[in-house]
Structure 1
């Protein structure tokens, strides 16, 4: 079945070119490519801020499939999505879109967000807002792992309990929580024998040497603490029959992290030869996997929710050694695709939360403080490393199992199908009804973003009324209007006023004699007519005659 799909488009959310490679950008870029390639789409719509974003969207999609029908609509045209079914939002901040939709029609389409980092104050605020904003039963937040879903549910439970206590209300519901992993283009990670030979020669690796690899952002603050990994690697290297290497493929964030990673390795695992490869260059990022024999990423940081790199490693045919942490607990089967190293967390951390909430600590200090309370089992990690170093057949078998697992569960063709199934479920929910908090006649649909000319009604002497009678000012007419409009500052937001032709119709009617504001306002679109009459009053082109 061919369908129309839609998404909110901002270039920063769907592209990595010329930007630091971070998970949400990689995921967004791959999601859009996969939706176009595997979605069976008839057309793809985009919600954009302006013309520049619309052009960027069309160019982006055309580079993937020039034949696909595309259109872009701004927030002024919600009806442009009435046939789209669901608008995908590349993040958890869905409230703004729900309030925007409410001005139009709450059952016009569904909204579907997705979790990335959930640890920031903005991310947690966005999750909490899901219980206050007009999210409907036919909206969904996709959680990329069981761990991410557990965190989101805890925030919703705590926020919901507070709201019930504060307002004495009963049920407080947010969107549907769905579990769908991130995906990878598994074919693009196929091993490259020639690249392996070239890179290993360049890095000075012997035929029998064994190389571990870390790929991604090299950050103590927002990725992982490298020292425990170094301790485990050194223990594995002691007495090993083969020379061990560690490839750090990525970029240091911030640059000062270079010392943390390289000097730390020199101090804690001197028996392991460490290499840094700048994998921000596309060719290096594509090829460097082939130089390694296994992948490792012992994350201990709450910044992570899914962890895309281990899935990419499995797609590349590498066994993986990761911590039993966040999304890794879903993606890696211990003893089959590699090893998951047990972790322990110690709390409470109320002091960390208090300092972050008060602005005493930056986000970097918050997550780094939380990671102090997380440890992996270093002896178990050393044992896993030693197993993969010493047993080539085990490496091969685990790598083959990992590659098959990645293709079967995490290839984008599979993941996009799960999204489309979710969109179909949301459509069924819309057809079933059950709208929450429908807009009420006479009330503001968006209370905290109200009509300014209504909410500030106590400021003027009076509001323009339909029965107010108006007449032409002496000498007024279309030429006088044009002369006034040429004066700098007289027309500040012309797009909000009637057109010149509509103004001319108002002036022509008044040339016959006085008329009511209601009659004159009807000569222009709703809202603009009354605003245009006040503008004519402002510049003495019409006057009251009652």
Structure 2
């Protein structure tokens, strides 16, 4: 159980699959939030919403998941509440803004924890690079969902370090923890009875003699997985086995042009395969697909992929998997145990500089950048063919690998297991933070690059008000001066700035003391509490502005 709580930075878009343009990060966020409500043991729920609408959405979801504890809302006006919470979870890699916000409360006031999704976009790479220069601390963390993505994060940070070393002569970086914690799933969601499986196949018109291969996820040849490797491998297996094969593509195309491209490629390169299309954004269709399948296939060849959750879902459904040996799949799928990992090939390291240059300069869009790179990454078609053929011809192998994958999914990737790793991480960060000792520089509470206006623009003015500045009333009559202040404060052009104005009692105190004799600013501050004195000192300038007091 946590010794500290965790607040969720909440923008509803990051935690829902109820949208047309459904991305992997949305599914991962929704699944995480469900786990948070199910497994977090805090007595209160803490949320840092982007808007009031997001707060309402969070509250509705909490109730839907049977969490009725008090919900503590954190806003930019109340960030110091995070001191008692201990941790802030951000559903992405962009921690720099949150680290700068924390500066005003102290660098060791709470811990920040982000997570990688895609790391190939300019935005994601900039977020990762900024970790080197933002006030990130060792009690912060960026969760890497796979060992492959951690390697990319380190490559990006090392590149930034080399630049800063050359440019500024730095000798070290303070970086966040980079733990590898995979995405989790709710494995019980993928359990289907024999009667459900029979009914689903009947609904889709699939007979008992056919072998069903399932691909689920975004159907994008340029930004997810080019389907030609799968189509060609299945066509070869169909001819070799003479067993009817049905391919279910349960997903969604970004537009009709992409959908037509898939149809054309399937007709030309796997004409022997019956291809069924299901809209994967509809829950009912996803259940139909999972419960109808015999074998799962996913052969991504794209750098925007970082983890890949669908093979784990397939394993939870008891399906053997045929996947590319790529990114997070290397961690999750054991070759020849849970299924087969198909070899992939990528060009030498020095051969992609032009692609990054085109993307960085805006010559290519992100989609085109992903498309160009994936067009130069191959998945071994013949190896995929051999894997399909083995599984198609051997029911016992399908059962064996499916059972192995199911056991692995339940023991290693169910949220009941994964969320404990989050919990352990949050506690570990708290221990580091609470035992930290800040140096004199880090004790300063400021945001570099956000210099306060009276420091940055001090030379704009003729003089500065100081503690030794001496002031007196313009009109010696206290009552007249105070009434004049009330009249001035009532003006809309003055009252709009109510945040910086003193209370009536504070103004009375200032005027009352000055009605006796001119005084130095330092002496005028004596009656006020220490925390109010800086506020009162600068307030004197407003009173000078209104011609209620004057310098003497």
What is the TM-score of this pair, normalised by structure 2? Answer: 0.90
8 Å CA contact 1:136, 1:435 repeated in 2: no
Structure 2 residue corresponding to 1:363, chosen from 361, 366, 387: 366
Q: Which residue is equivalent to 2:498? A: 494
For residue 432 of structure 2, what is the aligned residue in structure 1?
429
Q: How far, CA to CA, are the matches of 2:507 and 2:53 in structure 1?
A: 31
**Are positions 1:418 and 2:418 aligned together?**
no
Instruction: Give 1:450's aligned residue.
Output: 451
CA distance in 2, matches of 1:283, 1:513: 82
Cα distance, 1:333 vs structure 2? 0.6
Q: Is the 8 A contact 1:5 1:43 kept in 2?
A: no
Q: 1:192: Cα distance to partner? A: 4.4
When normalised by structure 1's length, the TM-score is 0.91
Q: Which residue of 2 aligns with 1:354?
A: 357
2:143 maps to: 142
SS across alignment from 1:104: coil
CA displacement 1:116-174 (0-9 Å, x = unmatched): 11001111111111121222222221111010111111112222222222222322231
Moved more, 96-105 or 267-276: 96-105
Q: Partner of 1:126: helix, strand, or coil? A: helix
Distance (Å, rounded) in 2 between the aligned partners of 1:464 and 1:98: 33
Which secondary structure state, in structure 2, belongs to the residue aligned with residue 245 of structure 1?
strand
> Cα gap change, 1:484/1:231 in structure 2, threshold over 3 Å: closer, same or farther?
farther
After the TM superposition, which residues 59-458 of structure 1 pair with which residues of structure 2 at under 5 Å, given as runs? Answer: 59-347=60-348, 348-433=351-436, 435=438, 438-439=441-442, 445-458=446-459
> How far has the Cα of 1:369 moved from its partner?
1.5
Deviations 1:422-450 (A, max 9, x none): 22222232244254784365xx7212122
* CA–CA distance in structure 2, aligned partners of residues 333 and 419 of structure 1: 24
What's the CA shift for 1:280? Answer: 0.9
Once the 2 structures are TM-superposed, how far is the Cα of residue 194 of structure 1 from its aligned partner? 4.4
CA displacement at 1:511 relative to structure 2:
6.2
Inter-CA distance 477–217: structure 2 relative to 1 (3 Å threshold): farther
Question: In proportion to residue count, which structure has more helix?
Answer: 2
**Residues 526, 351 of structure 1: CA spacing in aligned structure 2 closer, same or farther, 3 A cutoff?**
farther
525 and 432 in structure 1: CA distance in 2 versus 1, 3 angstrom threshold: closer
Q: Is the 8 A contact 1:94 1:126 kept in 2?
A: yes
Gaps (5+ residues) in structure 2?
none
Contact 1:476 1:541 survives alignment (8 Å): no
Distance in 2, matches of 1:249 and 1:101, equals 43
Deviates more, 1:146-155 or 1:83-92: 83-92
CA RMSD, 1 decimal: 2.7
Kindly provide the CA deviation profile for residues 449-480 of structure 1, in whole angstroms up to 9, marking residues without a partner as x.
22123212222223333343445566965665
SS at structure 2 position matched to 1:427: helix
CA contact (8 A) 2:2 2:423 kept: no
Corresponding pairs, count? 543
Distance 1:437 1:280, change over 3 A: farther
